[in-house]
Amino acid sequence: MIRSWFFPLSTICCVSLLAGCYGPGAGGGINSAAGRAQARPPVGSSQNYPEGTVIEPDDPQIRYIGHWDEVGIDQQAVTVNSGSRILCAFTGHELSGRFGVHRITNPAQIYVSIDGHSPALYKLDSRIENFSPKPLAGDRHTVQITVKDVDERADRWVPPLASAVVFKGFILAPHCHVLPLPPVTGPKMEFYGDSITQGVRALSMALGPNGSDGTSDYAYLTATAFGAISNQIGFGRQGIIRTGNGEVPPAPQSFGWNFKGSKADPSFIPQVVVINQGTNDVIYPSSRFVPAYRAYVAEIRKAYPRAWIFCMRPFGGFHAEDVRRAVEVLHDSRIVYVDTTGWLARSDFTDGIHPTVHGHLIAARKLVRVISSRTGLKPIHSVGEPWWCISVEGEKAP
Q: What is the pLDDT of residue 30?
A: 46
Higher pLDDT, 30 or 107: 107
Q: What is the pLDDT of residue 14?
A: 33
CB-based burial of residue 10 (10 Å sphere; 0-12 exposed, 13-18 middle, 19+ buried)? exposed
Q: Which residues contact 180 (CB under 8 A, 6 or more apart)?
A: 61, 89
- For the chain, the structural domain boundaries read 1-181, 188-389
Average pLDDT over residues 156-164: 98
Average pLDDT over residues 248-263: 98
CA 114-116-119 angle, to 5 degrees, is 55
pLDDT confidence bin for 114, thresholds 50/70/90: confident
Question: What is this structure's pTM?
Answer: 0.88
Asked whether the predicted pLDDT for residue 19 surpasses 70, the reply is no
pLDDT tens profile 357-378: 999 999 999 999 999 999 999 9
Q: What is the pLDDT of residue 391?
A: 62
Q: What is the pLDDT of residue 120?
A: 93
Q: What is the pLDDT of residue 52?
A: 81
Please report how the helices 320-330 and 286-303 are oriented relative to each other, as an axis angle in degrees rounded to 10.
50
Q: What is the pLDDT of residue 389?
A: 87
pLDDT tens profile 44-83: 232 333 568 899 999 999 999 999 998 666 789 999 999 9
pLDDT tens profile 264-316: 999 999 999 999 999 999 999 999 999 999 999 999 999 999 999 999 999 99
Q: What is the pLDDT of residue 396?
A: 52
Q: What is the pLDDT of residue 142?
A: 92
Q: What is the pLDDT of residue 10?
A: 32
* Identical fold, 1-181 and 188-389: no
d(CA 78, CA 74): 10
Handedness of CA 40, 45, 49, 52 (dihedral sign): positive
Q: What is the pLDDT of residue 72?
A: 66
Q: What is the pLDDT of residue 163?
A: 98
Tell me the pairing of strands 165-172 and 77-79: antiparallel
d(CA 6, CA 336): 56
- Name beta bridge partners: 54: 3, 171
Amino acid (one-letter) located at 235: F
Asked whether the predicted pLDDT for residue 138 surpasses 50, the reply is yes
Helices (H), 128-204: 195-198
Asked whether the predicted pLDDT for residue 184 surpasses 80, the reply is yes
Q: What is the mean pLDDT of the chain?
A: 87
Q: What is the pLDDT of residue 133?
A: 80
Average pLDDT over residues 96-100: 95
Check if CATH label 3.40.50.1110 holds for domain 188-389.
yes
> Quick one: CATH architecture of 1-181?
Sandwich (2.60)
For the chain, the distance separating the N- and C-terminal CA atoms, rounded to the nearest angstrom, is 30
Average pLDDT over residues 16-25: 34
Hey, how many other C-beta atoms are within 10 angstroms of the C-beta on 205? Answer: 10
Average pLDDT over residues 218-229: 97
pLDDT confidence bin for 4, thresholds 50/70/90: very low
